[in-house]
């Protein structure tokens, strides 16, 4: 199979992104290209778009499948991607996409994160199956919202829209890095020794069934037959966080489900997921998510309007 390196101008040092739409009914693409920090529309016609040929490039690519299911090739695997799903193409991934139907493509130059590249490793997941964001998942919906916001800013170009674009891109990459890290953690979890897997699985099951209640260290340690001291060392070594940090993170994720899907008060949600008080819930949630539960709830309500 012939593979070529795709070289495209991805914006510039001020606005290093590029977004365009491909409507394959007539093989015409409307490209919104960043030039000099300002968007410029370019109409391009071609009989075969480069995404149909195996290629790779040194920038991030997010592909939103708007219409028609299609086959995607990524690093040796053929994957059927359904309408509405989103594909995450990492730096140097070998890939090609059947462009039948309609897709929107977003390119992001890694120059954008050059100042923090040492702490921004593996923003996109490595396993081909994890590179597809399925329909009806919160992350896929979030990335779709980001793409729509970018397109709207390009179209309207309000004063200061460049900074707003950068903010959206950073938000997008931050969410994807969190997703990637979670998948890596799960992958590491799958390859643990059978004994470790059994013990950690028992711990996770216990947390899942009891997170809404107080969980003392001696109580959770007894689940796997450890002393409290040894349990704390063991959990930290295997999971990378203390048990309390993990439990707080787990409870906050459960709280987010209630913040998204119910009209419960912040106080009721805090108690429902196991926090002893609203003030402690606020403190922990803000430490983890850099915003209070109320701020998150207001953001969810605004997005639904």
Indicate whether 279 pLDDT > 90: yes
CA–CA distances in Å: residue 226 to residues 43, 218, 236, 245: 66, 8, 14, 19
Report the interhelical angle of 194-210 vs 228-239 (nearest 10°).
100
For residue range 219-247, list pLDDT tens digits in order: 999 999 999 999 999 888 877 778 998 89
- Give CATH 1.10.10.60 domain extents, the chain: 193-304
| Range list of H helices, 119-216 | 138-156, 161-190, 194-210
The least confident of 84-93, 233-242, 255-264 is 233-242
Q: What is the pLDDT of residue 256?
A: 86
Summarize pLDDT for 161-192 with one digit per residue, the tens: 888 988 999 998 888 888 887 765 555 545 55
Q: Report the pLDDT value the prediction gives residue 36, as an integer from 0 to 100.
A: 32
d(C-alpha 206, C-alpha 281), whole Å: 21
Q: How far is CA 37 from CA 9, 106, 107, 271, in A?
A: 13, 16, 15, 48
> Do residues 51 and 96 touch, judged by C-beta distance below 8 A?
yes
> Cα(249)–Cα(243) distance, rounded to whole angstroms?
10
| The CATH number of domain 4-187, selected from 3.40.50.170, 3.40.120.10, 2.60.120.280, 2.70.210.12 | 2.60.120.280
Segments of the chain assigned to CATH 2.60.120.280: 4-187
**Cα separation of 290 and 296, whole Å?**
10
Class of domain 193-304: mainly alpha
């Amino acid at each position: 199979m012939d593979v070529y390196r795709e070289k495209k101008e991805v914006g510039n040092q001020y606005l290093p992104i590029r977004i365009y739409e491909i409507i394959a009914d007539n093989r015409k693409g409307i490209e919104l290209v960043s030039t000099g920090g300002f968007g410029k529309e370019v109409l391009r016609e071609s009989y075969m778009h480069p995404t149909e040929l195996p290629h790779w490039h040194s920038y991030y690519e997010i592909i939103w499948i708007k219409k028609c299911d299609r086959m995607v090739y990524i690093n040796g695997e053929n994957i059927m991607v359904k309408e509405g799903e989103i594909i995450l193409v990492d730096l140097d991934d070998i890939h090609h996409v059947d462009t039948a139907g309609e897709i929107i493509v977003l390119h992001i130059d890694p120059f954008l994160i050059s100042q923090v590249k040492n702490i921004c490793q593996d923003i996109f997941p490595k396993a081909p199956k994890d590179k597809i964001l399925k329909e009806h998942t919160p992350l896929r919906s979030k990335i779709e919202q980001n793409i729509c916001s970018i397109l709207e800013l390009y179209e309207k170009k309000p004063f200061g829209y460049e900074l707003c674009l950068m903010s959206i891109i950073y938000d997008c990459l931050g969410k994807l890095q969190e997703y990637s890290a979670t998948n890596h953690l799960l992958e590491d979890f799958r390859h643990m020794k059978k004994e470790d897997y059994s013990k950690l699985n028992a711990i996770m099951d216990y947390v899942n069934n009891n997170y809404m209640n107080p969980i003392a260290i001696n109580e959770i340690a007894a689940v796997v037959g450890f002393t409290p001291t040894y349990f704390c060392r063991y959990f930290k070594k295997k999971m990378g966080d203390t048990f309390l940090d993990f439990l707080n993170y787990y409870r906050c994720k459960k709280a987010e489900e209630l913040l998204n899907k119910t009209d419960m008060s912040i106080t009721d949600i805090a108690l429902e997921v196991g926090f002893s008080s609203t003030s402690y819930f606020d403190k922990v949630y803000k430490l983890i998510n850099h915003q209070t539960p109320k701020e998150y709830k207001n953001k969810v309500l605004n997005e639904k309007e």
